[in-house]
Amino acid sequence: MGVPNTKIYTLDEYNKLRESSEDLYEFIDGEIIKLWSPSTMHQTVALNLGMELKKYFSKGKCKVMLAPYDVFLCKDNKTDVVIPDISVMCDKSGFDDKRYKGVPTLIVEILSSNVSDDTVRKFNLYLKYGVIEYWIIDPKNKTFQIHTYDELNKTYVSHIQEDYSVLNSNFFDNLSIDMNLVFEEI
């Protein structure tokens, strides 16, 4: 059996589609990926975690954005477009009135039905762009993964925690989140 023929699109084609449609799409490696509405559990976790991050960043050092919000990852004349569940941008120069262009400092993806998309495809994409911290939250099992970018080796160092009740950032000083609050009501 042959490999499926996946059409490669340009960024201009992606932008035209986004402008002419109410649907949400990501643009990764020339592929246009349609996004579907997340589950109630997914949205509950996203809102709860977003509120905890907003409290931490309330002094304005960084900006927290919740999906749906387009992030144009830009580096070395390459652009991919993602709609992370939660993004934290500390370089505020990338904001315009519709989107962020640049590389967020922290991206959070909350697992849903397509687990491999967040754990493999986006893991590698965010690594390629040098996202400093990438969190993967699993609401079904009430666990999480923290991946911190190692600039020297151009790889992620994965931090496994035995205690899943507290998430401690490896990049942001004193960012410690009570995950019982995040997983509340699910």
| Domain assignment present for 168 | yes
Q: What's the half-sphere exposure (Cβ side, CA atoms, 13 Å) at 112?
A: 17
**Total count of domains within the chain:** 1
Q: Which residues contact 38 (CB under 8 A, 6 or more apart)?
A: 46, 67, 85, 110, 112
Residue 104's φ and ψ, nearest 5 degrees, are -60, 155
pTM: 0.93
Residue 56's CATH number: 3.90.1570.10
Residue 149's φ and ψ, nearest 5 degrees, are -70, 130
Q: What is the pLDDT of residues 102-123, one digit of tens each?
A: 999 999 999 987 777 888 999 9
Q: What is the pLDDT of residues 69-87, one digit of tens each?
A: 999 999 888 999 999 999 9
| Domain assignment present for 32 | no
Are 83 and 26 within 8 A, CB to CB? yes
